[in-house]
Structure 1
Amino acid sequence: MKFGLEKCARINIVRGKLKQKQNIEDSEEELIKELDPGSSYKYLGIEENFGVANKEIKPRLKKEYFKRLRLILQSELNGRNKITAVGTLAVPVIEYSFGLVDWTKEEITHLDRRTRKILTMNGALHPKADVDRLYVSRKDGGRGLRQIEAAHQNAIIVL
């Protein structure tokens, strides 16, 4: 088995402070590059170093989420497939960041509200439709959309 060590980077942080590179004699350790204090490492699409730069990442995640949402809603899929596509292609963009990025309750609620607004603007949701029915599963008579707020609560509980 061969590992892609050229893609890897390391940084030694002890109790929140950067430690200098220790002299390790192992030949494989020397192949892994040392991460500079000013640079970052990308993990699951989120750049990390000492911490996560929330102010830089949140707008990028929101932009990608709403871009995917609009592309799905402008496609010629039927209603059921549009809702399924939103749950499998758009929501995970935000969902992957729940353990890494600090989202406030207001931001999560705003994402759900704006999602419903975009659904209404694209004709996928009637303006006077019941909001609760939108998030109920299809087998129980709802539309089956994944609620970002519920996904956030589940992710935090699991963590």
Structure 2
Amino acid sequence: MRWSALRWFVVVVAVVMLQGNSAKAAPRPRNEDMFRELLKLDQMYSSIARPRINHTQLKKEFQEKYKSRVTKLLNTLLSGGNLIKAINSWAVPVLTYSFGIVKWSVTDLDELDRLTRRLLTKFRHLHTNSSVIRLYLPRRRGGRGLLNIKNQCLNQEASLRRKLLTNRDPLITAVAREDAGYTPLSLGCSVRSGPVQAEMGPKVQRAINMLRLQELDRLYADRARPR
């Protein structure tokens, strides 16, 4: 491992020494020799190693928490507009904290969006034949304003990826170069082949154009037309 990349672990891990259940500050290593003296070779990897993230278990916990919050909101007497605002501000953030850390596949994200629509339909806040496009359009454009979870995840991952790849800090650059698919951002692939652009999903105007093609939704498409 390169010293620049190793130094990242020094700063994060080797500045404290664990003794039993207590921790005390340790002298900060300034070079590789000091680091090896602080953590002997036979202890280095056991000291640095951390359990891998169980993405499957975490996704299940996030899904259950999200479903629980949406269900609680649907059991209230909130009006349609206030209900959507409540879901956007109280239920969706449960998931957004995990974006860029937990590996969400497009299939997982689509399933979360379907789960939301099923719950809305179950509690009679969404008709089975209602337009899915209109559900996610902003209210000012004639939609209902519900946040699309897949777009939220892809946008946040793209933003984090862009921010880290443009950072000139040598430590972040070294760690990004070693990220060969270990995180959802896959920074190592981006460094070697240029920034990876996320699929942002349909834009608002494209969604409105698709909405106009649906005969039953012409009324809402006309309302969504810019004034």
Same structural fold, with TM-score higher than 0.5 when normalized by the shorter chain: yes
Supply the distance in 1 between the matched residues of 2:115 and 2:16 (Cα, whole angstroms).
52
Q: 1:30 aligns with which of 21, 24, 30?
A: 24
Higher helix share: 2
Q: 2: CA distance between counterparts of 1:106 and 1:150?
A: 13
Distance 1:31 1:140, change over 3 A: same
1:113 corresponds to:
114
- C-alpha distance in structure 2 between counterparts of 1:156 and 1:61, whole Å: 17
Larger radius of gyration: 2
Change (3 A) 1:14 1:90: same
Separation (CA, whole Å) in 2 of partners of 1:67 and 1:23: 39
SS at match of 1:125: coil
**Structure 2 residue runs without a partner (length 5+):** 18-22, 27-45, 161-227
Higher strand share: 1
Q: Does 1:97 align with 2:91?
A: no
Query: How has the CA–CA distance of structure 1 residues 120 and 14 changed in structure 2, closer, same or farther, with 3 Å as cutoff?
Result: same
The match for 1:146 is: 147
Q: Distance in 2 between matches of 1:154 and 1:146?
A: 12
Residues 1:55 and 2:49 are matched in the alignment: no
Task: Report the TM-score when normalising by structure 2.
Answer: 0.51
Q: Report what 1:82 is aligned to.
A: 83
Unaligned runs of 5+ in 1: 1-12, 38-48
Please state whether the residue corresponding to 2:101 is helix, strand or coil.
coil
The number of residue pairs the alignment matches comes to: 128
CA distance, structure 2, for counterparts of residue 51 and residue 14 of structure 1: 19
Relative to structure 1, is the Cα distance of residues 23 and 129 closer, same or farther in structure 2, using a 3 angstrom cutoff?
A: closer
TM-fit CA distance, 1:91: 0.6
- Give the deviation of 1:101 after TM superposition: 0.2
Do the aligned partners of 1:95 and 1:152 also contact (CA within 8 Å) in 2? yes
What TM-score, normalized to structure 1? 0.71
CA shift, 1:23, in A, is 8.1
**Residue of structure 2 in register with 1:123 after alignment:** 124
| Cα gap change, 1:61 to 1:31, in 2 (>3 Å) | same
Alignment of 1:6-25 (within 5 A): 14=6
